[in-house]
Amino acid sequence: VQYSQAGVVMPCSSGHPLYQLSDAERQMLQGTWPLELIEDPARQPRIIETAYEFVRELLIGDHLEDFLILPNGTELLGLTWEDSMPDDLRGILKDCKSARDFAVRLRGSPEALEKYRADVEYLDIGRQQRDVLRKDKHDLGKRIDEALRMVAEEHVDADLLYVAEMRLKKEIPHPIGGDKAKTVCRRDMKDVLGPYSAWTLYWDRYDEGFFAGGRNSGKGVHVDQVLWSNVGRNWRGYKLVAAWPKGEISKRTALEFYDVVFTPPLKESELLALQQAAKIVLLRPGDVYVFSGGIAHTVLCVSEEMCQGAYESFVSLNPVHVAHFMHTDDQEGPFCLDKYAMPSKELKDTKDDCIDQLEDVEEQLSQGGPAASRRHAGPLPPMWESLLARLHVDTELQASLRRAYAQVVDLCMADRYFRRHLPHKVLAAGQACGGRGLQELAARREAKRRRGLLPETNDGTLLPTCADDYDSSGTDSSSHESSSSSE
């Protein structure tokens, strides 16, 4: 097979054998996005064949402009549909072909309406995704009634309805981890990782969302409000995902096509945008995948079977991803997305969660590392026990995690909010892993002492104070300082 790219005719590589499209899949994809883009080797995902290697890549790898897929990952990681989803939702979703079917079935279950909340989304005349009754986010029945009314009056296309961000209305203790959460899922990637979930700067399954939609529905172009990564499970259906390069291209694409779903037939401007995508990926039933939500991306469901999936958000300890996360509230430059980014005041709560993660790692290190820590209340599935045992004896991984922890603590010291709130024990743990957090703090304090900003005792030693963590005007800022290591 040959195709033309930028005026050059190039051979189409078959790529990884586990990813190569079948004839039936090519037929399914006809009329969606151009096959020459979907089969472009440069835009294809990185296929990982084992659960062990997938976890290693999630923890320490660089996937910022990449897309990782573990085929049959829901089985390999013990995150199957039956194990993960509650009985009531599995019963409601049985035989549903579209989000409209799902909505109708939900409407007929008073118990489900009382228990769950979700966004019900439709496409307006400009192909932009809109929430039905956005202000009534806790009244799922009312939102469904309004969506069905709009369908009945032919104001919206029923086939393009999409159910997004479904979760519990009230937090409950997670059945495995015990942490309070609103996720509908009974098992998550966080549970698979056990003590290693702490070895990330951030992990969110509290607000984990469930998504469902039929053919040609999907999620419009956007950059996540926080520049984090996502690890997802695609239980049912086939979907296409496009992701653009970080920086200016992502920013331009997100602002030009914000919340626009690239549903066929494509406009010329949408086709041109897809040609700039770094990755165009077909997700199959059972895939578990990782990609950065901090770059522009969009999703299109392409199968007759309804797509059903969920994801958790995280920031790994890889310094590339931490540096990207630090750009979340940029006020200018290629990562600034203005109103579409989480405001700095709200981002402080996320940073507090990051500090909790760094403290959890410090506690593990003080106890001898992740192998000495147990984050599950009860017995584990044998495949999880086996996976954790391999991770515990992987000396290269253990060294890489500690090295990354040190680098991340140092990166956090370049951020005013982190610098003010990072506990001394975290800086000490980072330095013990090869970082220079305490040295950095001492250097900053000495520089401010010389400028007369820090009080001294009679013997010349510095009094403990937080004043050195404020800027020269005496006010605190959560924005990060630029450095040569940041994009």
How crowded is the C-beta side of 216, counted as CA atoms within 13 Å? 13
User: What pLDDT score was predicted for residue 256?
Assistant: 97
Residue 439 pLDDT: 80
Cα–Cα distance, 235 to 216 (Å, whole number): 18
* Chain centroid, CA 45 distance in Å: 16
Share of the chain above pLDDT 70, in %: 89
Q: What are the pLDDT digits (tens) for 77-100?
A: 999 999 999 999 999 999 999 999
Distance CA(453)–CA(78), nearest Å, equals 56
pLDDT < 70 regions, the chain? 1-14, 374-377, 453-487
Backbone angles phi, psi at 151, to 5 degrees: -70, -45
Per residue in 431-440, pLDDT (tens digit) is: 999 999 788 7
For residue range 265-279, list pLDDT tens digits in order: 999 999 999 999 999
Element (H, E) at 88: helix 87-93
Distance in angstroms (rounded) separating the CA atoms of residues 278 and 280: 7
pLDDT per position as a tens digit, 364-412: 999 999 999 866 667 899 999 999 999 999 999 999 999 999 999 999 9
Q: Which two tokens stand for residue 184?
A: 């509908």
| 3-class state of residue 418 by DSSP | helix
Q: Please provide the average confidence, as pLDDT, over all residues in the chain.
A: 90
Distance CA 395, CA 392 (A): 8
Nearest to 160 by CA among 233, 105, 219: 219
Question: What are the CA-CA distances from residue 272 to residues 32, 129, 179, 267, 405 (Å)?
Answer: 15, 20, 45, 9, 40
Is the separation of the CB atoms in 163 and 120 below 8 Å?
yes
CA 221 to chain centre: 15
The whole-number pLDDT of residue 453 equals: 66
| Cβ pair 48, 288 in contact under 8 A | no
Tell me, what's the pLDDT at 444? 73
Containing 231, the helix (H) or strand (E) segment is strand 229-236
Tokens of 464: 């403990």
DSSP bridge pairs for 297? 222, 243
- H-type alpha helices, 281-318: none
